[in-house]
DNA sequence: CACGGGAGTGGGAGCGCTCCCACCCGGTGG
DNA sequence: CCACCGGGTGGGAGCGCTCCCACTCCCGTG
């Protein structure tokens, strides 16, 4: 009693100090790994910590340091329905794995609408997290702009454009697309069409660019009527495929910028009596779970999503540790996974 | 200068009080919605808050109240590969939606191994969160035991057994299975087999039970050689299907306790030259994304996963608000989604 | 042998908030 | 007319930590 009106039974730094027969300062130094402590004192403190089961009070620490030891993973919901869902799961898994050895907390923030974006803005501005990971970035991304404006450590999955100033990580979209289309050409396809993602996203744009590059490298000219743009959804894939068949009945290969769109395309091809891969060969992108279950199973470009998550987390931690450091840009390799569709 | 050595430019409660010409106590009362404030004072304070853009410092509040205003969603990784992935995404979405209007933060914690479970234990014991949501519960679940022991507000998705003492939410597994099997019987199936999930999980057990009940209700006897146990994976589904075909070549219907296992079963049936649904009708469970892409598309029992997430969050908030309240148990309805496989 | 300085240490101040007690004041009842 | 009450209010104390300054040793140097 007296001055010590403790409400929770949890031991404090003070208690540890008393137990170890040292001052608060010394305990703090030990806990925070300062070298300026004698071996003797350190041992005594560590023993006391173990005996009492001391765990530092995060709030008290945050209050004085104004670090929060937590980072936010922000997922714009509107996009999350579009991009294949396993993508987010894999990102989360990677981020979490990388953070596991730290004592950083992972906050998950889904942003569904303008009101929630507003809330998020207040949230970030009041520095309730040390850093932010943002996925599903598109051109003119309001959230990315926000991150840039308030100068909080941040890492993007994807980018707004080729000149993205914020640190970001993404798969080699161009290279992956090139690989896919090259494979189609090597199989003997003469008229390779593509179903693109939204062209206001770099990922959509880049995969289209890869298609063009691969065609040119193969001596073919990328023709406009071999391109149909969709929105990463299955229905979008179906519509695009119908349009392509109408415009170019002679097509014999399709590169779809996502597995889900490829799945839609496969349905339409079947409806039209085209055999896959004999009449039309199809390659998707993502190597997601759907790729293994389509009929026929889908050849697809694998992107290392979990690895992306890990990398993002690592870059963010670096940036938090050294806020002045320069922005980074990491591109991860893709790989073509062969199945039956091409 | 002087006593006010502020480091961040953010306004404090003190600043608001000064601006509004009232005391700290009054500002605190307004911020926390106490009725014991005159309309005049409240107006002045609200104006000052708006002008200064005041946001309460969470750490300071936590330090004194020992509330953290955050809840943890705990996902045991070992299971997460097994249960269909979209499940977690949907749970997350539901939880997040329900929390969006609160100022509760959502912490995501993946637990991969014993070491991380240990860390989590320390984490929870030191009350760094106000409550916990736990998914993928199985019998003898160590994490569930932990939650029970440290008496922290908690809600489970699923349960350890029929006598689960903790508050929990789950779909009507028995009813869903009954619905599926009844459908198979009504279609004219005479020998309905089942591929179960792990029987050390209530969900595996309950879906098996539903199969039995429906058979009996239909006048048939559930025979042991019509049951094969798997682990919710595709490969498990394949093996189980092979075993069933060997034991009971006369089977003409299969109820699989998950879509992923059903997908594996479909492959094996095709390999064996059985047409689906003509020779063998198949029903899955989950109505996950794979169900739409199998060949043929899979009839499946839909469980309202997002709704489960919402419900879990709601129950948790109630429990945090009133820690003494009694445990709750919510069962959500399922629905049969008809496609081509049955 | 005095002195400067580095290593190690203790503890005051203060982070921004809530809690609670003391106080003020106008209305009511004896 | 005064004691009483209760709505409304201000501000001290204190949550548990880090930061930093002051202090004590004890070594090496001139």
Protein-covered nucleotides on strand C (Cβ within 7 A): 7-21
If you average pLDDT over residues A248-257, what whole number do you get? 97
- Closest partner residue to B55 among A58, A126, A293, by Cβ? A126
Sign of the Cα torsion B101, B105, B108, B109 reads negative
- Cβ proximity of B70 and B108 under 8 Å: no
Helix/strand/coil for A4:
coil
C-alpha torsion sign, points A320, A322, A326, A329: negative
The distance (Å) linking the CA of A104 with the C1' of D19 is 22
A62: distance to nearest CA of chain B, Å? Answer: 6
Measure the CA–CA gap between A263 and B259, rounded to whole angstroms. 18
Interface residue B86 vs chain A (CB under 8 A): yes
Indicate the pairing of strand A335-337 with strand A299-302. antiparallel
CA distance B290 to chain A (A): 6
CA B107 to C1' C25 (Å) is: 48
B194: tokens are 């089942």
Calpha distance B162→B43 (Å, rounded): 53
- Residues B184 and B297: their CA atoms lie apart, in Å, by 16
Residues A79-94 have pLDDT tens digits of 555 455 678 888 999 9
Mean pLDDT for A52-65 is 94
Instruction: State how far the Cα of B91 lies from the Cα of B304, in Å rounded to an integer.
Output: 9
User: Residues B241, B270: contact at Cβ < 8 Å?
Assistant: no
Interchain CB distance below 8 Å, B107 and A105: yes
CB of A26 within 7 Å of some strand C atom: yes
Interface check for A66 against chain B (CB to CB < 8 A): the answer is yes
Residue B336 dihedral angles phi and psi, to the nearest 5° = -90, 125
**Whole-number Å distance, CA B36 to C1' D3?**
25
| Three-state secondary structure readout of B276-327 | CCCCCEEEEEECCHHHHCCCCCCEEEECCHHHHHHHHHHHHHHHHHCCCCCC
Q: Are residues A126 and B10, on separate chains, in Cβ contact within 8 Å? A: yes
pTM above 0.75, yes or no: yes
Cα–Cα distance for residue pair B166/B330, rounded to 1 Å: 11
Is A107 in contact with B105 (Cβ distance < 8 A)? yes
With a cut of 50, list the residues of chain B below it in pLDDT.
Answer: 1-7, 82
d(CA B205, CA A149): 53
Instruction: For chain B, say whether A100 makes contact (Cβ under 8 Å).
Output: yes
Residues 46-65 of B with CB under 8 A from A: 55, 57-60, 62-63
Each residue's pLDDT tens digit, A116-138: 998 899 889 888 999 999 998 88
Helix (H, G, I), strand (E, B) or coil at A285: strand
Interchain pair A290, B293: CB under 8 A: yes
pLDDT at residue B89, rounded to an integer: 86
Closest residue to A293, CB basis, from B105, B109, B294: B294
Angle between helices A305-321 and A86-99 (to 10 degrees): 40
pLDDT digits (tens, 9 = 90+) for A169-210: 999 999 999 999 999 999 999 999 999 999 989 999 999 999
| Distance separating alpha carbons of residues A174 and A151, to the nearest angstrom | 30
User: How far, CA to CA in Å, does B8 sit from each of A66, A129, B16?
Assistant: 9, 14, 15
- Tell me the nearest-neighbour CA distance from B81 into chain A, angstroms: 11
DSSP letter at A104 equals -
Confidence at residue A99, expressed as pLDDT on a 0 to 100 scale: 96
The closest CB to that of A293, out of B57, B73, B290, belongs to B290
Output the distance from A65 CA to D21 C1' rounded to whole Å. 18
- Cβ atoms of B108 and B73 closer than 8 Å: yes
Q: DSSP class of residue A60? A: H
Residue A103 CA to nucleotide D11 C1', Å?
Answer: 37
Looking at the complex, report in whole angstroms how far the Cα of residue A224 sits from the nearest Cα belonging to chain B.
30
A122 inside 8 A of chain B by CB? yes
Closest C-alpha to A70, from A120, A106, A123, A94: A106
**Sign for the pseudo-dihedral over CA of A139, A88, A291, B336:** negative
Give the model's pLDDT for residue A293. Answer: 82
Residue A16: its H or E element: helix A13-20
pLDDT of res. A215:
97
**CA–CA separation, A311 and A305 (whole Å):** 10
As a whole-number percent, the residues of chain A with pLDDT over 90 amount to 79
Is B126 within 7 A of strand C by CB distance?
no
The pLDDT tens digits of the residues spanning A300-328 come to 999 999 999 999 999 999 999 988 889 99
Buried b (16+ CB within 10 A) or exposed e, B40-50: ebbebbeebbe
Is A6 an interface residue toward B (CB < 8 Å)?
no
Query: What are the pLDDT digits (tens) for B194-226?
Result: 999 999 899 999 999 999 999 999 999 999 999
């Amino acid at each position: 009693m007296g001055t010590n009106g403790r409400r929770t039974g949890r031991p404090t730094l003070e208690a540890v100090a008393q137990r170890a027969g040292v001052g608060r300062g010394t305990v703090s130094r030990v806990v925070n790994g300062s070298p300026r402590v004698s071996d003797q004192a350190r041992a005594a403190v560590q023993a006391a910590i173990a005996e009492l089961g001391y765990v530092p009070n995060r709030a008290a620490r945050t209050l004085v340091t104004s670090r929060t030891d937590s980072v936010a993973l922000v997922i714009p919901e509107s996009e999350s329905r579009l991009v294949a869902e396993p993508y987010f799961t894999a990102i989360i898994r990677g981020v979490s794995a990388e953070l596991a050895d730290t004592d950083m907390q992972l906050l998950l923030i889904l942003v569904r609408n303008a009101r929630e974006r507003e809330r998020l803005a207040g949230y970030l501005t009041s520095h309730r997290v040390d850093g932010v990971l943002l996925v599903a970035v598109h051109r003119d991304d309001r959230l990315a702009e926000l991150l840039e404006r308030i100068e909080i450590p941040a890492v993007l999955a994807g980018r707004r454009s080729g000149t993205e100033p914020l640190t970001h990580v993404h798969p080699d979209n161009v290279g992956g697309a090139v690989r896919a289309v090259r494979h189609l050409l090597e199989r003997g396809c003469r008229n390779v069409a593509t179903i693109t993602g939204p062209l206001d996203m770099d990922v959509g744009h880049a995969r289209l660019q890869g298609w063009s590059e691969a065609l040119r490298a193969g001596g073919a000219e990328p023709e406009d009527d071999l391109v149909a743009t969709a929105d990463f959804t299955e229905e979008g894939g179906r519509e695009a495929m119908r349009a392509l068949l109408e415009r170019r009945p002679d097509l014999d290969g399709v590169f779809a910028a996502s597995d889900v769109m490829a799945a839609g395309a496969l349905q339409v091809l079947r409806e039209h009596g085209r055999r896959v891969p004999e009449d039309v060969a199809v390659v998707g992108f993502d190597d997601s779970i759907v790729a293994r279950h389509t009929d026929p199973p889908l050849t697809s470009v694998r992107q290392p999503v979990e690895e992306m998550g890990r990398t993002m987390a690592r870059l963010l931690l670096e940036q938090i540790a050294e806020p002045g450091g320069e922005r980074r840009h990491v591109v991860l390799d893709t790989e073509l996974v062969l199945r039956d569709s091409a």
